[in-house]
Amino acid sequence: MLKAHLSAYYPELWLFVQCMYYTLIRPNELRLLQIKDIDLEEARILVRAENAKNGLNQFVKIPDPFRETLQAAIQGKPRHHYLFGGHEHRGQNYFNNQHNQILVSLGLKEKRLSLYSWKHTGAACFYECTKDILSLMGHCRHNSITITQRYIASLNIGHNPVISGQYPTL
């Protein structure tokens, strides 16, 4: 329901949440992303040090399912423009406030959803699909495997069903 509503009525917010889901870029970093930071040929996005939580220049891969959407979004836009907002970037709480208002209007606010839920869902899907903690660490731009392990645990993913409840009897 939320996906259909966003894609139909809020195309900029829908692009924003797709970016979060597929690239795992944090909302504050994402709102400061410029067109020149997107390299479709190499299928990567540069998160600049001055915008990054960790203060480092780092690249994030653009997953194949998102590449065409992103290409359409940037086509014809000046390279110095921001992906979100154009000549000027959106304010720090712009997307969060808009997302919260939509959740309330759809009666979904009580379900513990937030704008950040899209990033967490993307990370969970990435890990469940690959089962590769090192790839997830790189895609999240975490500085250590320990941070990624804690992140996986906080999302309640990565539990082995064989060990947790379906362990064969001897």
Q: What is the pLDDT of residues 28-75, one digit of tens each?
A: 999 999 999 999 999 999 999 999 999 999 999 999 999 999 999 999
- In this predicted structure, the answer to whether residue 160 has a pLDDT above a threshold of 60 is no
pLDDT for residue 146: 96
pLDDT for residue 102: 96
Distance, in Å, from the CA atom of 155 to the CA atom of 140, rounded to the nearest integer, reads 14
pLDDT for residue 32: 98
Split at pLDDT 50, 70, 90, the class of 169 is low
Q: What is the pLDDT of residues 94-106, one digit of tens each?
A: 999 999 999 999 9
Q: Which fold has domain 2-161?
A: hpI Integrase; Chain A (1.10.443)
Residue ranges per domain, the chain?
A: 2-161
Split at pLDDT 50, 70, 90, the class of 110 is confident
pLDDT for residue 170: 58
Split at pLDDT 50, 70, 90, the class of 113 is confident
Query: Over the chain, what is the mean pLDDT?
Result: 92
What is this structure's pTM?
0.90
